[in-house]
Structure formats: C-alpha cells, structure tokens
Amino acid sequence: MIQSGRATLTVSSSETDPSVVTDLLGLEPTRVTKAGTLRKSGRVADHHTWSVDTGELSNTIDDQTGSHALRALVALIQPALGRLPYLPPDCEPRIWWSAYSDSVQGGFVLPADLAASIGTLGVDVYGTVHLDDPEDPMSDAAAGTSGGSDG
C-alpha cells in the first residue's frame, strides 16, 4: 500500500512569464524556473515552469488511501479554482503525483470525492508509483545488483 507521496501543480509556458501565472491564479509558487536556466542535468530549460508543491507527505491515521499528498494539493490550490481556464494559450497546467509503496504492488485508492475535486480543476493528473525503497539495504539497487544472474 502507498505510505507517502508528493503532489505538484505545474504550469509550463513557452512565453508567459511565471509572475503572470502567479497573478492570474492568486497563488504563490513554491518554485519557479525561467526559460534559459541551467538545470541540474546540465541542460538549459527551454520553457518557464511555475509550481506549487506539497513536499512529501505520509499517510495519516484517518487517510490510508495513499492519496494524502494529492488531497493536500487540491486543498492548497483551491483559491485557483475557476482561474485555470483563463491561463494564456501557451500555458499547460498539470498535476504531478508521486507515491511510495511499501510493497511490490503499489496499490492505491483514488476516492470519488477527490476525483470529483480534481475534475472541477480541469487538470490532468500524471502519476507514478515507486515500488522500491531506495534506502532499503536489501533492495537490488542498494546492494549493487541488477537482479540477474552472473552466469
């Protein structure tokens, strides 16, 4: 089952300055990257990125669905409800959701009320479930093996 997760609303744009996104949505971003910025990968950003991020959030006793971070993001961006359609045409809003499982199946629940709330925002959700714990000393990656045989 999902144990924790992280969710981000990102608006990418080719021309619209991130400050315009801030003004239109009425939200302060947690991160802004302008086109032309050198990324950690060594590549130069070819577009602007404006983001509001929850940071990593663990499940709560009341919510064991694995969707805690996604629910927290939806609550965080509620002031922008109804404003996203008014972003300029070069702006592309997306919700990114990463979840971390304690099993190899990575099952989660997307409660109907949360799905409905996301639907009112009109933004697609791009999700990833991470099945391996990279800090687990027994995992293949931490042990330096690929899981295959040597010969």
In a domain, 36, yes or no: yes
In a domain, 44, yes or no: yes
- Domain hosting residue 24, numbered range: 2-139
In a domain, 134, yes or no: yes
Our count of domains for the chain comes to: 1
Given this model, what pLDDT does residue 135 score? 60
In a domain, 145, yes or no: no
DSSP at 38: B
Given this model, what pLDDT does residue 137 score? 53
Nearest residue to 81 via CA among 26, 125, 150: 26
In a domain, 63, yes or no: yes
In a domain, 50, yes or no: yes
Nearest residue to 50 via CA among 89, 79, 93: 93
DSSP at 44: B
In a domain, 148, yes or no: no
In a domain, 151, yes or no: no
Q: What is the pLDDT of residues 116-150, one digit of tens each?
A: 999 999 999 998 887 865 565 554 444 444 444 34
Given this model, what pLDDT does residue 140 score? 47
pTM of the entire predicted model: 0.80
Specify whether the CB–CB gap between 79 and 23 falls below 8 A: no
Residue numbers in the chain where pLDDT is lower than 50: 139-151
